Amino acid sequence: MTSTLRLVGWTLVAGLLITPAVAMRFSEEVQWTPSDFVFAGIILIGAGVIAELAVRASGTWSYRIGAGLAVLASVLLLWINGAVGIIGSEDHPANLLYLGVILAAFVGGVVSRFRADGLSRSMVVAAVVQVVIGVVAVLRGWGQGSENWPQPVIVLSVVFGLIWLASAALFRRAARIHRAAPPSAA
């Protein structure tokens, strides 16, 4: 089962990297530069490696899915900000604040040695940071004048906040499962 999922995952990464190259042959609307491919490759391959490490870190599916959601949120946050931006356009400097969300999740993971209980708390912190950035952006008017302002900031803050909280809940469940498991004989 795990080897099939690995194959599907890496095939998906390759497909996501190949799709724009193929689309550029048939449409003038898709115009990626070499740096776009490098950016996408780093993000997608990095996400794949992190997913591989998460699978090896725990045998519980709640841990694995929680890690998958955290990786998904990080990738989408980077991708959306790089492509169009959340606050105004992709060039708006306030979008750099969203790197703090990913940093909070990662640093929390490192500090907790990627244990489920610590990761659960880290994902809650990431959700709070995500929403706080959105609230501050709306209150300060960052990105005002962009299309549909402020709906994208509000909607994406809520959606990403919920993804981070779902990840936290799954890690919390994995921690409970780990605590309930009988100690292994040494």
Domains of the chain, by residue range, sit at 2-180
Summarised one tens digit per residue, pLDDT across range 111-165 is 999 999 999 999 999 999 999 999 999 999 999 988 889 999 999 999 999 999 9
Query: Residue 35: which residues within 8 A CB-CB, separation 6 or more?
Result: none
pTM above 0.75? Answer: yes
